[in-house]
Every structure is written in C-alpha cells, then in structure tokens.
Structure 1
Amino acid sequence: MTLLSTGRNRSRFRFRRTVAGLGAGALAASLAALTLAPGVSTASSHREAPLIAGDPRADNTDVYAFTSPDNPDTVTLVASWIPFEEPNGGPNFYAFADDARYNIKIDNDGDGRPDVTYTWKFTNHVRDAANQFLYNTGVVTTLTDPDLNFSQTYDLTVTDSHKNVQTLLHNAPAAPSRVGPASMPNYASLFSQAIRPLPGGGQTFAGQSDDPFFADLRVFDLLYGGDLSERGLDTLGGYNVNTLAIQVPKQVLALKGNASRNPVVGIWSTTDRRGADVTRDGRPGKDSWRQVSRLGNPLVNEVVVPLRYKDAFNTLSPDQDRTVQPVVDKVLDPILPKLIQQIYGIPAPATPRNDLFEIYLTGICAACGPIVADLNAQRLNADAPVNRIVPAEELRLNMSIPPTAVPNRLGVLAGDLAGFPNGRRLADDVIDISLQAMEGAAQTGVLVPELADGDKVDTNDHGFGASFPYVPLPNTNP
C-alpha cells in the first residue's frame, strides 16, 4: 500500500519525510456505546475478529475493485464470504444466508456514506425436504435441473444516496456449491449460467468460487516464529468461498454520473442481519437490519485494529471512523512494525504514521498527506464537496487509470498504478505490499530488503479468468 519511486515513475512522484499533524479531524468517542451484546456476530475477513468466527455466512473475507481489463469502460467489484470452505463439504454444502443482506457500497463524494449500494438477498428452494437428504439426486446440468434438490435465487437491488431503491434482478439463480465430478461433471457450464446481464448494462454473478486470496497465514504464528525461512505455503490454497461480483459502467458509480470529471470512488462491503430494537422503556421494538460485517482495505481489522475494538469497528459506517480515537491512534502508531522490530530487529518507522493515515483513511493525493502524489483520493474529483470530505476507511479506486497490459503483483509499489492500493485486483499481492507499507516504503521510496520476499506466496493456486467474473472455479476433490 505504498508509492515507491522506481524506474519510469521516479520523476512523476516525489516523497518527503516530513509529516503533518492530524489537527482536530478525529473526534474522541466512547466505544462502550458501540460494543454489541454477546451472541451478535460482527467483523470481517478470514475469522479475524472474535465474534464473526461463529457466523461464517456473514463473514466477508475480501473485497476487490478494478477497471475491467477486457471491458475498460466498466468497473468490476468482487466480494466473498464464508472462509475456509472445504471442497466436497456435504451433505449441506455452503449456501448464502437467507436471513441476511449482502452489500457492496460505493462512496463517490468522500463523506464516508454510501451513494450507491448493491444488495443481494437470497431465498432457499428445496424440491423434496421430506424424503431426501441429498443436495442433488442425480447429475446436474443446468441451474433449473430437477435433480438439483437444493438451490438458491436472489433479488439484486441498487439504492442511491436518497434511499431510492431499484430492483435490478428478481429470482436470479445462484451457482450451486460444487458437489463433485459425479454430480456436476461440467461445473464450468453451471458457473457460466449464473452470470446474469443487468438492465442498463453490466452483469453480475453469485455462487461458489476458489478463494482468490493467497497468503501464508502462519505470519500470525509470531511472524513465522522469528525464522523467515519458514514461509511460502498458501494457507488458503484448495479452499473455496461464496462470491458476489458485479460489473457496471463507470458512470453508474461516479459522482454526478461523470467518470471523467469525478473518477475516484471508495468501496466497501457489509453484511446485515436483523436485530430487535429496544424502546426507551425497555420494551421490544420493531426488527431492523444491523450491520454485522464490514470490509474495505484488506488486513485493516486483522493487523491495525486492536483486539478490543475489532467487533465494534465493524458495526460502523466509514463516516464514523474518525470518531473512534483508539482506532485512529493505531493507524498513526501501528502495532505491526513494533512486532517486526522486536522479533527481527528491523527498526520501526517513526510515528505519527501520517502516510498510513493517508493510505487507509483519505486516499492518496498531494494535498492529503506526506505522500506527494495524486492517485485515489475523492478530493481529486472535480465536483467533490471538499468541506464534507472526512477520513474514512475505504478501498479507493481511480477509474481513470487504465488496466495494465502486464500487471505487477506489487501494484503501485512497483509503479503499476492500476493495482493496490488503487483499488485491488485479484492478483495483487496485498500481504507483501502491506508489509512494505507498514515498514514505511511510501516515506523512504525504497523496499525494506529483509522483507523483500514477503510471505513468498506470490500467486494464487489457480489462475484467474480473462473475463467476468474473473474468479476461478471452486475446488473439488475427485
């Protein structure tokens, strides 16, 4: 998540080591009012917050946003749920929750609130619940095959900043879990059948896929136990997730519908579940939807937010982030560099880390912080109301930057401006990029040589597709 002065970009981007003060932008607030009662699941990513481990169908694992490489007039947004799905995990396999809402949200004016929200709501269908235990009773060749005993459909809606809701799809079919070669000998056909066109242009997909995230998560074992030779195993290899993807014209997401004047958008995903409101006199109120999972930039809640605040953080809207001072403090003075210094002796960069504040909370622009470059802050939108822009944790994408012909896995770190942290492509190596960001590469302009190899997992265990939805087919055991 850094800008590194390398090669052809050395003259374009300059770096300064001085950092500006935060000022009064971050408001202190009590976390007590945000903490949820036991039994309510919150947080996101791969089991990285305490309560979400008990509710995997609400656990959002990753979010991706990029200009579509084969259709550069559009943007593709991808989000996944349910970590560590075992292949052939029957007899019930893996379904989206039918009592939850899955959202991908877009902020185009920088106020931390959604201006465009895509929402998927699923319905379960069982052909024979009384006399069958099987997911399918024969070979499945289509999404409406009578041998598919369990299936799901969904409604897809889009909501604007004024809460106006439009239904884009009704009862659209989701791809089933991949049962195995005997039941689904041509799963690629079922996968393709789940790609659905959208009114007004674009397309969407819902179903199971290979987990596109790649990393050696043994990093959480005391940073590989102090031995950097103990790296290189893709912990997510062979596992599946449930994935939602949507591809839409850029103007649909842009402020005032003008992607030329206003190319920068912020993206995050959430999961909602119903919870009971309680009136002031203590009586039960009307059931309402509550946010229980949230994810924007990768690894924020895993390695930036302290354990005490993980669950509460994921109930917030990004426009509230600046009011939670304990979390802001950990952006400015992060834990991970201190651990790296303690275990490996690599000096932690000086604080306050205003470079990370810029990367995570404002987007990168010359007027935003110590990184002297204009990349992906909503402040760069010509029609943005500058007085309403607030620090907010979002995955920001500058839609005007075209796809790279030969993408570099280190993204902006290697001068590839179409990559992370300018959005996030499926093949971006966010573990390696984030390690270098934490070690101050955006301030120094050079990689930390001891961490140059990162986790030594540089690619996914399966290649990515050349067309929408780009994610690989789910894994299966023969």
Structure 2
Amino acid sequence: MKKTKILIATAILGIATFVAIAADHIDAPAVQGGTSDITDFYAFRGENTSNLVLVANVQGLLTPGNTAAASFDERVLLEFNIDTDGDNIEDLVIQATPRDGKMYFFGPTGPTSTGLNSTIVSTTTNAGVVDITNYGETAMIEEFAGMKFFAGPRDDPFFFDFNKYTEIIAGDATGFANPGDDTFAGSNVLSVVVEVPKSMIGGSGTINTWVESKRKQ
C-alpha cells in the first residue's frame, strides 16, 4: 500500500518544474517570512555510524502559538544535493515534497538536470513517504530500504544573536556580546530529516552536500 501511494504521488508531482530561489535564516529579502525560507542545514553521522543524516529546516521564528497552524508548502521542493567527486556539482539528489499531510522522498539518485531547475525523479527505486508530524504529537518516523524519514515541527536549535549581527553590519557595534542574546530561543522550525546508508551514496573520501528550496513553476 505504501509503495502504491508513492507511485500515485510521482504521477502527480513528476511533471512539475521547480526553480531555485534565494533562501537563508530570515535575512534573504526574496523569501523572508515565506514558506521556502531555509533556516539551517545539518549533515552528520548517524547513531548508526554507517548512516548519514541530512536535516533541512524551513520557516523559522514560528512561535508556539502559530506553530500548530504552520504547514509545509506543497509548491516547494526541498532538494538535498550530494557531490561525490569534488567538482561542486550534484551527482546525487534526495528530493522531499509534501502532499496531503505526507512528505514524499525520492533518492538518492542522479538528478534529471543539475543547477537551478529540477523535476521530481519519479523513476527512482529509492523512495519513501512519511506522515507529517503535527505540532505536539510524538514524532512519526518511517523506514524504507534502510532509509529513515521524518517531517514536522521541531525546536529551532540555532543559536545566534541576530540583532547584534545587524548592528555590526550597520556599523553600530564592533562585536558580539558574551554570551549575547539567543534570537531564536523559544521558536520553532519545520524540519525534514532523512537518514541514508553511506553505501547508497557511494564515492570515497570527502563529499560535499548542500540543500536548496525550489518553488513550483
């Protein structure tokens, strides 16, 4: 049944073209306050040291009061890019896109094209789906073919004194205070998490990885 749902989703999503847009933690004018605003990206070794964990957070500064009403934008594709040969061009992608309360994942697989434009890689045999965890619910995690998936609200883990940073940029301060103010304390983000066996990524030595948000055109 889960496989059938994934195949149905690819039929719906695969024809869409997604185009990259600027994104950063609340300070990119093109996406500030928008549903495609990437707050942070994390990549680290899993508890199972044979796995790699990739985390993309979007829609920062969600207060507890409005987190319950927040949702992933079905027009936005999150794409984890993996460069295995050091040329800074993605050799593999893992795509995540929401639909009807679920997050669908495709990859790791070779992209249909590199750069700013993407389409859903609907032909890949590496795919998964997970129900999006609602605010206040126990995290729902699904596993497919050795990969694990999660999508839903989490506490923003990023520590940064954003107000002091803007003062420094404006020339009104010469440095950060110690310890400074945690601008993001008490706020939430929407997280997309995928844990993937290193054997599915291939390559050797160092890999480069980054994340993009792309809006449906």
Structure 2 length-normalised TM: 0.77
Q: Please give the alpha-carbon distance, in whole angstroms, between the structure 2 residues aligned to 1:240 and 1:229.
A: 24
Q: Which residue of 2 aligns with 1:237?
A: 185
Gaps of 5+ in 2: 1-18, 113-122
Q: Report the more deviating stretch, 217-226 or 96-105.
A: 217-226
Count of equivalent residues = 186
Deviation at 1:229, TM superposition (A): 4.3
**Cα 1:236–1:250 shift into 2, 3 Å:** same
> Aligned pair 1:263/2:210, yes or no?
no
Distance 1:220 1:106, change over 3 A: same
* 1:83–1:41 distance in 2 versus 1, CA, 3 Å: farther
1:196 positional shift: 0.9
Q: Which amino acid aligns with 1:71?
A: N
1:205-233 C-alpha deviation (Å, 9 max, x unpaired): 11110011111112324237236547521
Amino acid at match of 1:53: Q
**Number of the residue aligned with 2:31:** 52
* 1:98 matched to 2:88: no
CA distance in 2, matches of 1:97, 1:235: 25
Q: Does 1 or 2 have the higher relative contact order (CA < 8 Å, sep 6+)?
A: 2
Aligned 8 A contact 1:204 1:247 in 2? yes
User: Structure 2 matches for 1:41-120, cutoff 5 A?
Assistant: 42-54=21-33, 56-68=34-46, 70-89=47-66, 93-120=69-96
1:168 aligns with 2:127: yes
Contact 1:216 1:231 in 2 (8 A): no
- CA displacement at 1:162 relative to structure 2: 5.9
1:249 correspondence with 2:208: no
Q: CA RMSD in A?
A: 2.3
Equivalence for 2:13: none
Structure 1 consecutive aligned stretches of length 4 or more whose deviation exceeds 6 Å: none
State the 1:113 CA deviation: 2.0
State the shift of 1:167 in Å: 5.0
Q: Percent identity?
A: 25
* Number of the residue aligned with 1:153: 102
More helix by share: 1
What is the identity, as a one-letter code, of the residue corresponding to 1:265?
I
Deviation at 1:66, TM superposition (A): 1.1
Partner of 2:9: none
Secondary structure in structure 2 of the residue aligned to 1:43: coil
Corresponding position of 1:195: 141
Name whichever structure is richer in strand by fraction. Answer: 2
* Residue 272 (structure 1) aligns with: 214
Q: 1:218 aligns with which of 155, 163, 166?
A: 163
Structure 2 equivalent of residue 421 of structure 1: none
Write the letter of the residue equivalent to 1:161: G
**Alpha carbons of structure 1 residues 273 and 233: separation in structure 2 relative to 1, 3 Å:** same
Q: How does 1:380-419 map to 2 (within 5 A)?
A: none
Change in Cα spacing, 1:59 to 1:264, as seen in structure 2 (3 Å) is same
Cα 1:122–1:62 change in 2 (3 A) is same
Bigger Rg over Cα: 1
Task: Tell me: CA distance 1:221–1:254, structure 2 relative to 1, closer, same or farther (3 Å).
Answer: same
Asked whether the equivalents of residues 60 and 82 of structure 1 are also in contact (C-alpha less than 8 Å), the reply is yes
- Counterpart residue identity of residue 239, structure 1: S
After superposition, the Cα gap between the structure-2 partners of 1:73 and 1:41, relative to the gap in structure 1 and judged at 3 Å, is: closer
Structure 1 length as normaliser, TM-score? 0.36
- Out of 150, 156, 164, the position equivalent to 1:205 is 150
8 Å contact from structure 1 (residues 106, 117) kept in 2: yes
Displacement after TM superposition at 1:123 (Å): 1.4
Per-residue CA deviations over 1:320-342 (Å, capped at 9, x if unaligned) read xxxxxxxxxxxxxxxxxxxxxxx
Give the secondary-structure state (helix, strand or coil) at the position aligned to 1:89: helix
Distance 2:40 2:77 in 1: 16
Q: Indicate conservation of the 8 Å contact 1:41/1:51, yes or no.
A: no
Q: Aligned-pair distance for 1:71?
A: 1.1
